[in-house]
Amino acid sequence: MQRVQFVETVLRDANQSLMATRLPYAKFEPILETMDKAGYYAVECWGGATFDVCLRYLNEDPWERLRKIRAKMPNTKLQMLLRGQNILGYKHYPDDVVRKFVQHAVKNGIDIIRIFDALNDPDNLKVAVEETVKCGAIASGAISYTTSPVHTLENYVKLVKELAAMGCSTICIKDMAGIMGPKEAYDLVSAIKDAVDLPVDVHTHCTTGLAFMTLLKSVEAGADIIDTATPPFSGGTSQASTDTLAYALRQLGYQVDLDDAVLKKVADFFKPVRDGYVADGTLMPKSMATDTQCLTYQVPGGMLSNLLSQLKTMNALDRLDEALAETPRVRKDLGYPPLVTPTSQMVGVQAVTNVLQGERYKKVSSEVRAYCRGEYGRTPAPIDPEVQKQILGDEKPLTGRYADTLEPAFEKTKAQLGDTARSDEDVLSYIAFPQLAEKFFADRQAAEENVVKYTIEEM
């Protein structure tokens, strides 16, 4: 009997996709001990946008959040999402910082690090993978899924073999836009299973309505693990429902080791939580809708809404069709990057700019310039040489690995912060998000001084 295991995403991806990661720790703390008994393969609970949002909006120390989850869930593997050489930010960091970050993530309780790169450049994945393995954690090598003439099964298989050679112990197909159809999933999972002897995890979103079919065909092709979310936090831009997949897969004769009674308790807990966020507007009804336009235009849902809001602010909504037609051309010129943060923003903004300027690449953002210089890594196909020349002029693009040009930063930053940073974790928070961390440290200090003051007054 084929066994299918589940990664529950409510604490990270479902939370991030439906309500911009605004779920504070206190809201889900009461259910953690119950979740620990559900029988999940893992709970995805950290990384992605959680780190940024903890510091920026929730006044929470992301490291402390992780330690608290770890303490409440001793029996379940905890998973995080890491953007390879970008860690959790939007630029490349030096290798020493990537290594320190991985070390402390594992030290604070992470068991599985899912590592991806927006361009699928192995050079941007290898240091994070190597360090994860060295720390004794599970490195899950992820493919950022997209479609293009160069994103063939052969090329995906080549990448997967490189990930296996690096030491990844599972492979994840990460379909961040929910555009992978059931046939594509079946073919890709089959090809990966033929090529390497590693468990395959399929990650997709319900955005276009394909997810249940895509996951079912993935399982038929031999996928070992699927990513799902508890029913109240499933659907729309989030993952497919855990309980529904467990039900359907069991009916079809697959082994599912989840405890239904516990799943029900988890769903019962999160339902009023969700209703509260729907009532206060944090969770918008449009996040729960099905959007098949993404399939027609081959752009992720989030990117489509960005295009619309950009055109709206420029009073040019009537140019939408032109911008949508220009988007795949820009993507082709730039060597077919998968459309995921940060490349989706770069391509979208450039397409709108090209249309509104009436001349292509007359104006270019600093990000696109850096991309053309090679600072984001090797592109899936070469950048169109004429476009690259037009953007860079006489400047020569980088030939090696961008991170190799960066000076080590951890010890220097630690010395510079002095007493402000109380731990290596603080130093890493600062390196990832300097302004946010600075404010967080100051607020923490002020809050503690208040506590001391009140205690003295009471005495």
| Contacts with 430 (C-beta within 8 Å, 6 or more apart), sequence order | 413, 417, 421, 437, 438, 441
The residue nearest Co ion at its CB is: 13
Q: C-beta of 30: minimal distance to Co ion in Å?
A: 26
Q: Looking only at residues 162 through 191 of this chain, which bind Co ion when binding is defined by CB under 5 A?
A: 176
Contact string 118-157 vs Co ion (x = CB under 5 A): ----------------------------------------
Q: Does residue 44 touch Co ion according to CB under 5 A?
A: no
Rounded to an integer, what distance in angstroms lies between the CA atom of residue 217 and that of residue 186?
5
Burial label, 309 (beta-carbon count in 10 A; 0-12, 13-18, 19+)? exposed
Q: C-beta of 307: minimal distance to Co ion in Å?
A: 20
Q: C-beta of 47: minimal distance to Co ion in Å?
A: 11
Q: How many helices (H) and strands (E) does the chain have?
A: 21, 8
Tokens (6 digits) for 372: 């053309």
Of the pair 81, 436, the CB lying nearest Co ion is at 81
Residue whose pair of structure tokens reads 């050079």 in the numeric block: 123
Count of residues that interact with Co ion, criterion CB under 5 A: 2
Of the pair 176, 215, the CB lying nearest Co ion is at 176
Does residue 38 contact residue 259 with C-beta atoms inside 8 Å? Answer: yes
* Integer CA distances (angstroms), 459 to 196, 449, 451, 453, 454, in order: 67, 16, 13, 10, 9
Q: C-beta of 13: minimal distance to Co ion in Å?
A: 4
- What's the CA dihedral at 18, 19, 21, 27 to 10 degrees? -110
> Of 431, 444, 424, 413, nearest to 63 (Cα)?
424
Query: In this structure, are strands 170-174 and 200-203 parallel, antiparallel, or unpaired?
Result: parallel
Residue among 13, 61, 224, 384 that touches Co ion (CB under 5 A): 13
Q: Looking only at residues 62 through 101 of this chain, which bind Co ion when binding is defined by CB under 5 A?
A: none
Q: Looking only at residues 357 through 416 of this chain, which bind Co ion when binding is defined by CB under 5 A?
A: none
**Choices 13-21, 242-250, 286-294, 430-438 (CB under 5 A): range interacting with Co ion:** 13-21
Q: C-beta of 12: minimal distance to Co ion in Å?
A: 9
Q: C-beta of 226: minimal distance to Co ion in Å?
A: 12
Q: C-beta of 238: minimal distance to Co ion in Å?
A: 9
Of the pair 109, 178, the CB lying nearest Co ion is at 178
Residues at the contact surface with Co ion, assessed by CB under 5 A: 13, 176
